[in-house]
Amino acid sequence: MRLTSYSDYSLRVLIYLASHDQSKLSNIKEISEVYQLSKNHLMKIVHNLGKLGYIETIRGRNGGFRLAKPPAEINVGEIVRKTEEDFYLVECFKDHGNCIISPVCSLKFALNNALDAFLQVLDQYTIADFIENKVMLKAYFDSVKQHDEGTDS
């Protein structure tokens, strides 16, 4: 199984936000710098996470965003289902696949079972599970930001 970078980055953004004090707003620039990701790509992800109700966006000069719900209420399996474009592991998962043995092949059933198991495992986790080391995460994020600020001069 492989997740798209879109789902990966969505999860990373949520982990970043969950590791910070929710009274503090974060912004695209700081997350972009920490993860070394494109600001444009991150803007799309943050916008989508806001539409899905995971991020609250505050506009204005001192604006930014933060989690819209507690990390324990953000299910990882749900995030993956909502951020992955499709789960076509093989051609026969598509409605109009070209595989000639598709009508009599049982491989797709085994792969579908594997996909279900993959998602069931992710359903057992919330973002809170990935910030149990919140102090270490925050310190690491802060050190990356300080390092980047030191190299900008």
Who wins on pLDDT, 64 or 107?
Answer: 64
> Measured in whole angstroms, how far is the alpha carbon of residue 20 from the centre of its chain?
16
DSSP SS3 for 153: coil
User: What average pLDDT does range 2-17 have in this prediction?
Assistant: 95
Question: Residue 153 pLDDT more than 60?
Answer: no
Who wins on pLDDT, 70 or 151?
Answer: 70
Q: Which CATH architecture has domain 5-142?
A: Orthogonal Bundle (1.10)
Adjacent-strand bridge partners of 56? 66
Q: Specify the pLDDT at position 87.
A: 76
- Residues 84 and 9: beta-carbon distance below 8 Å: no
Amino acid symbol at 94: K
Could you read off the pLDDT of 77-130 as tens digits, one per residue? Answer: 999 999 998 877 666 666 666 777 877 888 888 888 999 999 999 999 999 999
**Helical H runs in 21-123?**
28-35, 39-51, 76-83, 107-123
User: What average pLDDT does range 73-78 have in this prediction?
Assistant: 98
DSSP SS3 for 71: helix
